[in-house]
Amino acid sequence: MKLAEALSLRANAARRVEQLRTRIVGNARYQEGEEPAEDAAALLAEAGETLDEYETLIRRINRTNAATAIGADGTLTDALARRDALRLRHYVLTAAADAAAGSNQPTYSR
């Protein structure tokens, strides 16, 4: 399986889990004497299977990323860690700049 395919399958599994979560929550409570539209226990079992597949995909993706060299900068995992740190750094600096500029303050007009 190619990395792109595994990433696509992981995204699909994550969407599926979210859909199942929504359906489980929607069918977890119902009026006494009524039947739920769907069996929450069956939905939970399906979510468990999907989460097992999701975990397997993440493990395979992480192994591939750790083994894939991208030159002098290290592995793909190293590049992803750098990207995440830069994203967080940008978030902090942007928040600081916005606060200093008063961007988050309500404006009052006369």
- Boundaries of every domain in the chain: 1-67, 72-102
35 close to 46: Cβ distance less than 8 angstroms: no
> What pTM does this model have?
0.76
Q: pLDDT at position 109, please?
A: 65
Tell me the pLDDT band of 84, cut-offs 50, 70 and 90.
very high
Task: Report pLDDT digits (tens) over 7-60.
Answer: 999 999 999 999 999 999 998 888 888 888 999 899 999 999 999 999 999 999
6 close to 61: Cβ distance less than 8 angstroms: yes
Q: How far apart are CA 102 and CA 96, in angstroms?
A: 10
